[in-house]
Structure 1
Amino acid sequence: MKNLVALLFMISAFVISVFSSKCYSGFSRNSTTCNVSETECLGDRCMTASQYSYNNGIVYKSILKSCANDTMCGAKGSMLVENGKFRFFMNCCIGKLCNTDGYQLPPEDPAPNGLECPTAYCTGNLQECKKEKKMNCTGSMNQCFEFRGDVTDPGDTEGNFSVKGCISSDSCKFNFDSAIGVSEIKKKFVNCYTLHHDKGNFSE
């Protein structure tokens, strides 16, 4: 019995050492650097996430360091609306306290990709924004989207937003729930969709 207990203890220690590690953890909502501490993780992957947001002429850059999983690793995305832009990149590494890298975003692809989406930007209400224009999507932004909600930006300014524009698949998958610098206080509506061109008309 003692041998069995000892064996189980050795196996548990081995499993913990193989499948757990430490990563640097910390974030800043409006800076490319952050203060970090060490945190225990349930795996061996660490992450540094970089985020860029532009809203009505103001640029915010945010950074997050934490534990990671396969879903997060390598994710990058972008979103474009009439008066704003949002980009992020999640860079992962394997090993104890390996996420020592700094703020980084892959180069932006400004080339039009053939998709055209409605774009609109309204503040002060949670109703659908009707001030629509057409926008040419670029790079990996392969879907259209609409978002309505109460949001706080990296400058701690809270407001109701109703926006439409272009978005990439990863941005749609994570949306504002996972944003570093943008905090959702209340989400009323979010929808990502693909438009199909048919004889000059667009339909879902």
Structure 2
Amino acid sequence: MKPYLKLLWILSIFAKSGHSLSCTSCLVQGATFCTGNNVSCPSGRVCAATHTINMEDGVKKDEYFGRSCVPEGQCQRPGIFSTYNSKSKKGISCCYTDNCTPTQPQLLPDDDKPNGLTCPTCKANGTQWCDTEMTMKCTGEETRCIVQYSKITGPGAQSTERILRGCATPSICSIGNQTHPTDGLSAEVQITCTGSVNGLHHHFNLHGIMAVVMMLLLITA
């Protein structure tokens, strides 16, 4: 077999078998960069950085930054999640080689134009559900009604548990259920979405971002 044909044959086997990247895993609050240990990603995942900013009554309340392994389909898909008085913006960027550093994630601009969708909206702490008669008009690219349960556990076994309902972009809904442990913080996020107020029937179950949560995360008070 000629050398170049042999090389192509070896590469084709490598592509079929899949390659697991090594990526940095970390999660911090109040910063736009973090470092941590390298982890081996499941096959089909890539290295990602996620930046989340949480607003309340038009004022920035907090932000999270994380790095982890994510499904490639989540890359470069920024998103927004809104309740009646809060908004969370998430940006995600990816890179595709071992221990690479993604570029700074970009966030979607504000768009206050109603899109015709109306969703139930409520917030509650220390519980896994909230019932509501309150609704909100969704705007811009937020074309899904969303329920998000999140739990952040920090040093000293402190934890914050929250439930949120409102409007979201499809990219937020595709995050699904995630758990992201680090040396400092552990974030668990469960997301359920629908395209109408008639019932929550699209339940996404994708694993592997920080995602933080990232975070990921998408935490508002």
Give the alignment's TM-score, normalised by structure 1.
0.65
- More deviation, 95-104/167-176: 95-104
Structure 1: distance between partners of 2:86 and 2:54: 7
Partner deviation per Cα, 1:16-42 (whole Å, 9 max, x = no partner):
9x9355544433233212124555555
Q: Which amino acid is 1:81 matched to?
A: T
1:162 CA displacement: 3.9
Partner of 2:78: 76
Give structure 2 stretches of 5+ with no counterpart: 1-5, 200-221
1:51 CA displacement: 1.5
Q: Which amino acid is 1:29 matched to?
A: Q
| Higher normalized strand content (fraction of residues) | 1
Cα RMSD after superposing both structures: 4.0
Q: Which of the pair has the greater relative contact order for Cα pairs under 8 Å at 6+ separation? A: 2
| 31 and 15 in structure 1: CA distance in 2 versus 1, 3 angstrom threshold | same
Q: Which has the larger radius of gyration?
A: 1
| 104 and 157 in structure 1: CA distance in 2 versus 1, 3 angstrom threshold | farther
Residues 48, 90 of structure 1: 8 Å contact kept: yes
Structure 2: distance between partners of 1:78 and 1:182: 22
| 179 and 66 in structure 1: CA distance in 2 versus 1, 3 angstrom threshold | closer
Residues 22, 44 of structure 1: 8 Å contact kept: no
1:110 CA displacement: 2.9
Q: Please give the residue correspondences for 1:50-129 in structure 2 after superposition, counting only pairs within 5 Å.
A: 50-54=51-55, 59-129=61-131
Structure 2: distance between partners of 1:136 and 1:89: 23
- More deviation, 42-51/136-145: 42-51
**Identical residues among aligned pairs (%):** 22
Structure 1: distance between partners of 2:139 and 2:180: 21
Structure 2: distance between partners of 1:24 and 1:54: 27
1:183 aligns with 2:187: yes
Q: Secondary structure at the match of 1:174?
A: coil
Give structure 1 stretches of 5+ with no counterpart: 1-6, 196-201
| 164 and 26 in structure 1: CA distance in 2 versus 1, 3 angstrom threshold | closer
Q: Which amino acid is 1:30 matched to?
A: G
Structure 2: distance between partners of 1:85 and 1:100: 25
| 124 and 83 in structure 1: CA distance in 2 versus 1, 3 angstrom threshold | farther
